[in-house]
A and B are shown apart, each in its own frame.
Chain A
């Protein structure tokens, strides 16, 4: 067994050895080890290279706070995860892991020259240096920065794993299973309550696992923990969830829990869920997240082998690993003495304890001396040596300028303790500064929530247990024997004899931020801690500054000459630790990622090999290619057959709203620009809807089914907002109107037939409706049946041809479509998609709201003044149409464009200018809104919004394109085909 192992200690299973690989080399460990503990047991501290300077780094912590030891884990094809903390990754046989951000290897890294030239890489370096020349950014600077500075590689393959998603409630949610959390669970379990206890670690128990000196009610901490867990398991109302991180705390006690099921297992049967995101609505939340030890900021504090004292305790007590053979401890808090004594008790030589404070309790010094440990009071570590691992520290006393060197192979540091306020702050609980201990503590809760134990500044096992019992609704007081947790002193600056230009003392290890960077930021004028954070990137790495935020605050406060609470604290944001996209998505991947609405006729179109396009949330048939046709050929054919004979089109996605009630026509008068009172039953009218700001909001054909009933249609994409718009006005502005609105979009399938043979096709199958032109004129609606299916039959046209829109209940849509298609064979019936629909309507100059209008177009701008009632006293948007800027001359107006070269189809969105030879930037008059090849006319047609367009009729405008080509076009009225509408009247 390795010389660093301490058999008999820890929770690892010494009977189950495990081999795994790190950077291609095989290492030994035991079941229960993490990658970090097993590597440390093999004498390896060097586990990664730093973000900016590529400095060699080893683990600083032993848990999720770890900033340095980030690794990539591969679990087979598609299962590569970068940036995982080696300190939390449990090993199993054959696990493949690798270090990051090094080339060609971890031991020798070419990028380390950044470190040599680090004087040139201060805070804000990227902002300052890479600004010029601009053209270098894409090709030189960004690729360079990405290569040299960074984390692990992003996965490139599709994640093959499954993820779960659970919504649940509970009475009490407890976060953290240390003494406070366990005592709270124990108390809550005795009351008839649903309790959930979560902990991010594989083992429940928190600090109790690494407190061998502690007894609780006469039991050792380990025995008390085991007994308590057994009691909770048996209670029946407590759910214990290890390997589960409470990642975020949201409104009204809504807490997200990410549970990891399989990453620690060697063999996972296919289909098993890897992670589950639980969304818990809790009656009460008890936060017992503990505290995180604070590093000390001194030159060379990032060398592999320098770590938190509590981390060394954890490695010893949970994993049975001594982090070195000869240790030096550097502290400003009593708690590190206990760590030193515990390690000494496990046959680890403690060379010296260096205490930055001038005064220390005598009993600690006596105990150290009793154990043969040198204690240096009032001294600091002023430098470290060692390449892949620390080999020596230099200590320094500022008054007498004493210096001394001490050999060691690990340096433990302790700058005090920072209560974990992450979730408390997510919940918007307020915090207060405790000047005595130099930490922020919870103040007032914003939710039904308490923060207890070390995270509330109550250090020590008894304090945590008693607070836990009380929070869980109990009254128990515990008897414990435990070493005094002690007190500490916070230093905003450690003395040094070195020139600051020669030192590198890290505050944020993961983002390579030093104390100098923070001071520089303050000198350069960043006085808010939020600005200092963003300028230096302190606390912005994947660990979110768990070990660095308070040190950064102290340094910034001193540089500003203010007290810490005046400088503030940066905001904690979810997630507490990095969370996989898989867990956040749950099962909503692939087809379930976003719902696609399909019409009843969609399967037929799919069977025909239609090409689809998304329209709003719908997918619609775009065109129907035959025999390898491209889109251009297919659309030309579809247009030609429709104009010559008969086309069939699925218009089911049109929004439909049934407006019903005695005041229905009054309501319609208020919602649309044109009048509705005199529209006869059985007649249709095109309606234009404005927003209150006077701009075109939507349009559609409306049929009057009865005196008190309108069948309103809307654009496909506009249906939800039009319905909301109507409901809003009905409920809040016109509540006196007796009207009911019902969205009927999904109730009707709509089959549009267009072409001279449309009437001939349906005539044999329609019953109850006289189809003759006299009895059923253009813009009329009739109720009857087709193929025996009840229908609302509209005679309308969005193509300029004789047209019908057959509305039938959705579940008959496909059957009626198929029957029409079969019967239509004698007319060469041709299905067409949205592209042909667009061409046909553009040839007629019919607008598409949202394409030819953009939310700043009035009816007048669109050449549609004819539809705005002058007589109605009120309708939504009426007053706005009189606003001076909406009636002003020279607004952008909708016109038609014909290109000089009829074969040129303009690009939609292309900008239009009067003079193409003017200097850039040119004075742009407007842009092309719709543009198509018209097979019927043998030329291209386009519509455009152009400044003062109505006054430019007949003039030539220019459309300059990228690459220097300039198209010429003539301004015309936007009606290109059958301007008098004669084709509607075909018999």
Chain B
């Protein structure tokens, strides 16, 4: 059972407190954008997700904890969390992720 760092509680807590919530950084288009999108573009937004081998940005929910959704970089091969960060923070760049990897994760 993994330990996951909740960026809001600022604590490592057991995995059973959390729920996975899909890929991160997929912003919902606003009303005007929605109307401009073709069906194909909208389907892309709805259904198409990365199936990444390696570092993946994804959402987690501290369901049985502080109730907050947050983002995480997790390596899908090793299952290691590289970093968790608050909702609203930008998607980390590849160089940022490798820096985190070197510095040991939180």
Residue among A446, A728, A879 with max Cβ neighbours from chain B (10 Å): A879
Contact assessment for A728 and B61 in the assembled complex, using a CB-CB cutoff below 8 Å: yes
* Cβ of A760 to closest chain B Cβ, rounded Å: 44
A880 CB within 8 Å of chain B: yes
Q: Is B87 an interface residue (CB 8 A)?
A: yes
Report A238-261 residues with CB < 8 Å from chain B CB: 250-252, 254
Query: Of A252, A874, A879, which is within 8 A of B1 by CB?
Result: A252
Near A by CB (< 8 A), chain B positions 26-65 give: 27-31, 34-35, 37, 39, 42-43, 46, 59, 61, 63
Chain A residues whose CB sits within 8 angstroms of the CB of B87 once the complex forms: 731-732, 735
Q: Check if A252 sits within 8 Å of B3, measured CB to CB.
A: yes
Task: Flag A616-644 by CB within 8 Å of B: 1 or 0 each.
Answer: 00000000000000000000000000000
Closest to B27 in A: A733
B80: chain A residues at CB < 8 Å are: 446
Known: A732-B59, A874-B31. A692 touches B88 (CB 8 A): no
Q: Is the CB of A874 within 8 A of B30?
A: yes
In whole Å, how far is A432's beta carbon from the nearest beta carbon of chain B? 17
Most-contacted residue by chain B among A251, A279, A882 (CB, 10 A)? A251
A146 located at the interface, meaning its Cβ lies under 8 Å from any Cβ of chain B in the complex: no
Measured in the bound complex, the distance between the Cα atoms of B31 and A875 in whole Å is 8
Q: Which residue on A lies nearest to B29, using beta carbons?
A: A879
Judged by a CB distance under 8 angstroms, whether A42 is at the interface is no
Contact A879 B34 (CB under 8 A): yes
Question: Mostly helix, strand, loop or mixed at chain A's interface?
Answer: mixed
Q: Which B residues touch A874, using CB under 8 A? A: 30-31, 34
**Residue in A428, A731, A880 whose CB lies within 8 Å of B42:** A880
> Is B69 an interface residue, CB under 8 A from the partner?
yes
Given contacts A252-B2, A727-B69, contact A735 B42 (CB under 8 A): no
Using an 8 Å CB-CB cutoff, how does the interface string of A217-252 with B read, 1 for contact, 0 for none?
000000000000000000000000000000000111
User: What's the nearest-Cβ distance from chain A to residue B78, in Å?
Assistant: 6
B106 within 8 A of A: no
| Neighbouring A residues of B59 by C-beta, 8 Å | 732
- Docked CA distance A727–B19 (Å): 13
A874 to B30, CA, bound (A): 8
Contact B46 A693 (CB under 8 A): yes
CA distance A784 to B59 in the complex (A): 43
Residues of B within 8 A of A102 (CB): none
Chain A residues near B15: list those with CB within 8 A.
Answer: 251
Contact between A735 and B88, CB atoms less than 8 A apart = yes
Residue A127 CB within 8 A of the other chain? no
Distance in angstroms between the alpha carbons of A252 and B39 in the assembled complex: 44
Contact of B21 among A252, A254, A279, A728 (CB under 8 A): A728
Give B90 Cβ to nearest chain A Cβ, in Å.
14
Q: Is the CB of A883 within 8 A of B88?
A: no
Q: Within 8 Å of chain A (Cβ to Cβ): is B97? A: no
Whether a CB of chain A sits under 8 angstroms from the CB of B67 is yes
Residue of B nearest to A252 (CB): B3
CB <8 Å contact, B1 and A251: yes
Q: How far is the CB of B75 from chain A (nearest CB, A)?
A: 11
B102 within 8 A of A: no
Given A692-B46, A883-B43, residue A250 in contact with residue B1 (CB < 8 A): yes
A884 CB-CB contact with B under 8 Å = yes
Contact A724 B61 (CB under 8 A): yes
B63 touches A879 (CB 8 A): no
Residues in A neighbouring B79, C-beta threshold 8 A: 251, 428
Contact at B2–A692, with CB atoms within 8 Å?
no
Q: Please, how many angstroms separate the alpha-carbon atoms of A250 and B80 in the complex?
A: 12
A248 to chain B, nearest CB (A): 11
A844: interface (CB < 8 Å): no
Contact in complex: B69, A732 (CB < 8 Å): yes
Across-interface contacts of B43 in A (CB, < 8 A): 883
- Interface flag for A873 (CB, 8 Å): yes
Nearest Cβ in chain A — how far from B89, in angstroms? 12
- A873 to B27 alpha-carbon distance, docked (Å): 18
Q: How far is the CA of A873 from the CA of B35 in the complex (A)?
A: 10
- Hey, which chain A residues are within 8 Å of B67, CB to CB? 727
Check A878 for interface membership: any CB of B closer than 8 A. yes
- Give Cα A874 to B46, complex, Å: 16
Q: How far is the CA of A882 from the CA of B59 in the complex (A)?
A: 28
| Residue numbers in B under 8 Å from A728 (CB-CB) | 21, 61, 69
A428–B39 CA distance with the chains assembled, in angstroms:
43
For the complex, what is the distance from the CA of A653 to the CA of B15, rounded to whole Å? 28
**Contact between chains at A884 and B39 (CB < 8 Å):** yes
Judging by beta carbons under 8 Å apart, are B21 and A428 in contact?
no
Give A850-906 interface residues, CB cut-off 8 Å to B: 873-874, 878-880, 882-884
Report the minimal beta-carbon distance from A926 to chain B, rounded to whole angstroms.
25
A956: min CB distance to chain B, Å: 37
CB neighbours of B30 from chain A (8 A) = 874
When distances are taken between beta carbons in the complex, the residues of chain B under 8 Å from A883 are 39, 42-43
| Cβ–Cβ contact B31 & A873, under 8 A | yes
- B35 near A879 with CB under 8 A, answer yes
Complex contacts, A693 vs chain B, CB 8 Å: 46
Q: Residues on A close to B: CB < 8 A? A: 250-252, 254, 279, 281, 428, 446, 692-693, 724, 727-728, 731-733, 735, 873-874, 878-880, 882-884
Q: What are 12 of the A-B contact pairs (CB < 8 Å)?
A: A251-B15, A446-B80, A692-B46, A724-B19, A724-B61, A731-B68, A731-B69, A733-B28, A735-B87, A878-B34, A882-B39, A883-B42
Known: A727-B61, A731-B87. 20 other contacts (CB 8 A): A250-B1, A251-B3, A252-B3, A279-B1, A428-B79, A446-B80, A693-B46, A724-B61, A727-B69, A731-B69, A732-B87, A733-B27, A735-B87, A735-B88, A873-B31, A878-B31, A878-B34, A879-B35, A879-B42, A880-B46
* Minimum-distance CB pairs A-B, first 7: A874-B31, A879-B34, A251-B2, A873-B31, A252-B3, A731-B69, A733-B28
Q: B: which residues have CB within 8 A of A?
A: 1-3, 15, 19, 21, 27-31, 34-35, 37, 39, 42-43, 46, 59, 61, 63, 67-69, 78-80, 87-88
